[in-house]
Chains A and B, each alone.
Chain A
């Protein structure tokens, strides 16, 4: 059972990253390969505000999230907006370039060492059936579920949430209805950046944060998104958990060196067997 608990913890992180991928994919049709770098920046900023400036937890979170929200906006407004030929392949390449740039900047600012972010809650171990879970992990899981519920409520019931879904369905019709599609695109990057930072911030006390972490969290979040079905909100969430648990299980029975490989074996299997993902649905065909 222990692998299940640790799997759900790392799965929560994959889920948050996967939801970030899906939000951007739904409104722009792009895969944002800098999603993993948002996770790293989230962790790094928490380290900076908490350890270097000695702020309290609340203001540290607030500053990190506001900054990352702005990073997302800048990302879209400055770098993607001014690409001359806006084909999807060009824009995706830009996100890869930005991922590399962000990684370089992170290395220059925070160095090559792993940074330890202090724990947000008192460290305790909770005993559960067949295993145990740390209070840190519980925070991660609770935050992930809470975020998922808040986001799904936002998309389902609020005016701007509906505008996001409308842009996903049909951008021309959205423009006709008076929705500023460019604003929605920008906001989707801001929300994705925020989600990445949230994932990075809550996991930093457990895993520490190194400037190269973004590659793995990005690719695993992407695998989770594909596993659940690209573009599906609940698919991303479930895909994240499933990936985390499967990974934990195989790390349990096989040498842990193979752990990272499993995310990608699952990615390949899904692409071979069911490319639309577990919860993916084909876009409704217009008559």
Chain B
């Protein structure tokens, strides 16, 4: 049922045009263009501090209504259907960002609470279904401090899914968990977010190749995006998928060049 929901969600493509971001005198990127293709995963790799997170923040900040006091940069973020991005984006960070005073279930329901929407039986039911989908049904009533790192990240994934947004921004969402948990979380995310427009920032070439349709390497200062790698087949691809293995060398070469 959850997968059906995802598949039927209206997909939208998001274009960042002329994205510029400066910190003090350093220009992270200038006039950067990137289009997140509708219903597919775009992966972004590159050295630390190159501006990947800033690019995500730039997209996120564009949903602010007024008071651009914390604006991180400038640039136009537009959706192909002409409607604003606000209300259509979900965000998942490297840290789980679970609120420590709420239970897992209430954390999953946080968006409704913040929007002033009623926490009614259907909402609760959907939260519980997603919590079950990420295998956390036994922990739904626990607070985050009672959970392991992997469980916390699964709860964060459930919260991201609950938002049911056509566009999902993920900033190294699985980098803080062990390898096996990471692979499982990738499978979950790929399945449950199928049909969404996803931007995934990651440091893990294998992760990008398992999940991404198009994979960009961000490099230089100001940073530019190279030609994307196109990964064949549908995500989540097996770790030992020949296509994945074949592209891994090329991706690593590009990353090494980006680091130099």
Q: Are A and B bound to each other? A: no
B interface with A by C-beta (< 8 Å):
none
A interface with B by C-beta (< 8 Å):
none
